[in-house]
Amino acid sequence: MIEVGAKPPTRAPLAFRAGMLAPGVIVTFLLILFALALVVFLAFRANDGSLLGAGFTLRNFEAVIFDQLNWSVMLRSLVIAGLVTMATVVTAFPVAYYLAFHAGRRRGLILFLVTLPFWTSYLLRVFAWKVVLAYNGVLNSALVGSGLLSEPTLAFLNTPAAVVVTLAHAYAPFAILPIYVALETIPKSLIEAAADLGAKSWTTFRRVILPNAMPGVMAAALVVFVPTVGDYVTPALVGGPSSTMIGSMIQAQFGKANDWPFGAALSVAVMLVILTLVLIVRTSDTRLGRRA
């Protein structure tokens, strides 16, 4: 209620608001919209060795659509990203649950430890897993020393499993934090009401906690899935030929192959596939929210 005689709140001058919005608008345009528009533009250009290509053509998309190798690598990328997402979310949920409901005074320390990997380089974490999984690495040395293996094995490194483990470890914090936020916002009165009605712990978790945490779970899945589909550093360092992902093919087109238009067409195809999956997940999330 506004008191009698009080001055009505005044809006900031238009110039001031425009000045505050300008940096964000410029960054968004230069780093996102302009880059995206450039990729789409390149996808329709013919490769003549120049930076922007020559003329407009659909041959790049024809090569993407009708080359079976592209779709096999795309499918492999989706499978690996899906496995990484499942492993990350399944392992992140218990950590987030403990943080939200049982950490108490230790919550700040655990959150600090969860975010601690962000203090180190992503490449350093990948190289650490390469040291662990290598032929003479930590894992082989431990298994040989314990007598479980008579000699080191090559089964750990340069495999799709190595890519999944490395990516799941690298993106674990990205899954823990959204789920924790979703669990933290659940009203404690709902849990108390379930207990008052005689619901057991498992029933409360299944009927109250999990449905209300699903937006956080979906957000964590998207945050992990989208970047891992196009990852090319991890497959190059800890994966072998059987672990080649679509990001590696795109990087090769922009690098050694020097075919930027075809690389851009591959990028657009990946974006369309991911956008379709995101829309499906979002629709599922909306339906789950309505049911809850």
DSSP 56-67: E-SHHHHHHHH-
Report the C-alpha gap between 276 and 269 in whole angstroms.
11
SS3 150: coil
Options 3.40.50.720, 1.10.3720.10, 1.20.840.10, 3.40.190.10; which CATH number does 68-291 get? 1.10.3720.10
SS3 185: coil
Query: What does the pLDDT average to over 52-62?
Result: 85
pLDDT digit string (tens) for 113-154? 888 888 888 888 888 899 999 888 889 889 888 888 888 888
Q: Find out whether 234 and 166 touch, Cβ atoms under 8 Å.
A: yes
| pLDDT value, residue 242 | 82
Name the band, by pLDDT with cuts 50, 70 and 90, for residue 10.
Answer: low
Structure-token match 């075809």, residue found: 262
Identify the residue with better confidence: 36 or 19: 36
Q: Find out whether 242 and 159 touch, Cβ atoms under 8 Å.
A: yes
Report the C-alpha gap between 273 and 11 in whole angstroms.
44
The alpha carbon of residue 25 and the mean position of all alpha carbons in its chain are separated, in whole angstroms, by: 25
Q: Is residue 1 predicted with pLDDT exceeding 50?
A: no
Identify the residue with better confidence: 281 or 1: 281
To 5 degrees, how large is the angle CA 212–CA 213–CA 218?
A: 120
Could you tell me what percent of the chain has a pLDDT over 90? 27
| pLDDT value, residue 83 | 95
- Measure the N-to-C terminal CA separation of the chain; round to a whole number of Å: 36
Query: What pTM does this model have?
Result: 0.83
